[in-house]
Chains A and B, each alone.
Chain A
Amino acid sequence: MPKKMHIKLNVNGKDEEFLAEPRELLIYTLRERLNITGPHIGCETSHCGACTVTIDGKSVKACTIFAAQADGKEVTTIEGIGGPDDLHPLQNAFKEHHGLQCGYCTPGMITRATKLLEENPNPTEEEIRFGMAGNICRCTGYQNIVKSIQAAATEMNAAKEAAE
């Protein structure tokens, strides 16, 4: 029986320390150990993106990385992006523009979209579709997801300009 490992993560700004088997996938650490249930399990086979989180600045499918690999790193989930009282512009835009129906894909979509807009604050429709290609939605047909991301980009850019 392999020994448990001592793992430290910073999740949404909070330090977490625990003992876990090396084979524990990060998605289970988040959902079952830390009760952070925003990242969902859609396919569990690295295809759907519902489990997307940000690890040290990269969008990663949390079902395809062991917690041990993330030891010492910073993890951000949808809970760290915004909550009911302080919606992130992307969350607000998804709400306003009908960017979700059942909502199952939405935490992964928005988490991925925060990185997309960081890397490319003014994406075209084509760039949004290409940059979101790792996230699958069974409901919306994507049209309103694209619209929501475009609307959030416009709002975030205007806020940035106003601040300058």
Chain B
Amino acid sequence: MIPAAFEYYRPKDMDGVLSILEEHGDDARVMAGGHSLIPMMKLRMADVPHLIDLQDVGGMSDIELTADSIRIGALVTQADIIDHARLAAAAPILREAALQIADPQVRYMGTIGGNVANGDPGNDMPGLMQCLNASFTVVGADGERDIPAREFYEAAYMTAREDEEVLTTVTIPLPKGGYAYEKQKRKIGDYATAAAAVQIVKDGSNCVSASIAMTNLSDTPIYSEDASAALVGTAVDAAALDAAVAAMLEDIDPTEDNRGPIAFKNHVAGVILRRAITRAWSRA
């Protein structure tokens, strides 16, 4: 399995990256960890005549925590996220989700920027970022702009990022309350059959805010506003759980594939969301 030939570049700064992207347009692509892109190139499902390795571009490998937000550089790996104690304390859902991605070898290489920019509905970080209401900073020839995660995904492998833009930073408002990332997969290391990211805030015995996003159940991640709203003002009892699951099922649109038929996916989505809400509530 040998990819088609390409030119390889390893620029030292973002200006270098942007000028190659501008020169070659559609024929150029950036690579971070390469653990989505290289498999696609080997299968010849991705043709990349000009490959730009980001590893030497500085300033994208930091995790910064402030009083109200978290900034994660695009080149931070899943292993970095798992190992960062202060990040795990501030936003434990990130570590819980990262531990459910792939296997140790892949997590050393795979980056948060690559995971959210890729646009594969199977990736776990996009749904998580929608749940957390993150935004992505991208830079291009005309400068920087921020795109909310909830508006970033258009279709499989189609995102609001332009081809000549590079994603540099993921910014997450400091999450509040209980959390859970639940994922059903066929075996360890596999992409999700269904996954749910949930954050819930509790006041007294009632839920005052909730955020729910689902993974690999449509051609984009699904932030379900209605499922989230179904929990607010309730004590997250059986009726509220039923209502949230019913609302989520209205929003997703799974297709049949080697992970199962549509009815099975809907069933698993319900089971996983119930588990995630129950666990997040128990931690709220």
> A residues near B, CB below 8 A?
1-3, 5, 21-23, 25, 44-47, 49, 52, 58-61, 63-66, 68-69, 71, 112, 116, 130-134
Do A49 and B105 touch across chains, with their CB atoms under 8 A apart?
yes
Smallest CB-CB separation from B190: which chain A residue? A47
Does chain A have a CB within 8 A of B264? Answer: no
Given contacts A22-B51, A68-B53, contact A131 B104 (CB under 8 A): yes
Smallest CB-CB separation from B9: which chain A residue? A22
- A-B residue pairs in contact (CB < 8 Å), sample of 29: A2-B7, A3-B7, A5-B8, A21-B5, A22-B8, A23-B2, A46-B35, A46-B39, A49-B103, A52-B105, A58-B79, A58-B108, A58-B109, A59-B104, A60-B105, A60-B109, A63-B1, A64-B34, A65-B34, A65-B38, A66-B34, A68-B10, A69-B53, A130-B188, A133-B188, A134-B102, A134-B103, A134-B104, A134-B106
Does chain A have a CB within 8 A of B3? Answer: yes
Provide the B96-117 mask, 1 if CB < 8 A to any CB of A, else 0. 0000001111101100000000
Given contacts A45-B42, A59-B108, contact A25 B103 (CB under 8 A): no
Count residues on chain B whose CB falls below 8 Å from chain A CBs: 27
Task: Write the nearest CB–CB distance from B98 to chain A, whole angstroms.
Answer: 13
Provide the B1-22 mask, 1 if CB < 8 A to any CB of A, else 0. 1111111101000000000000
Do B6 and A23 touch across chains, with their CB atoms under 8 A apart?
yes
Residues of B within 8 A of A71 (CB): 10
Residues of B within 8 A of A63 (CB): 1
Contacts beyond the supplied A5-B8, A22-B51, A45-B39: 20 A-B pairs with Cβ under 8 Å: A2-B5, A21-B5, A22-B6, A23-B4, A45-B42, A46-B38, A46-B39, A58-B108, A58-B109, A59-B108, A60-B105, A60-B109, A61-B105, A64-B35, A69-B34, A71-B10, A112-B104, A133-B103, A133-B188, A134-B106
Q: A58 to B53, alpha carbons, bound, how many Å?
A: 18
| Interface-central residue, B104, B105, B188, B189, by most chain A CB under 10 Å | B105
Q: A46 to B108, alpha carbons, bound, how many Å?
A: 13
Task: Write the nearest CB–CB distance from B123 to chain A, whole angstroms.
Answer: 15
Q: A59 to B189, alpha carbons, bound, how many Å?
A: 15
| Interface-central residue, B4, B39, B106, B188, by most chain A CB under 10 Å | B106
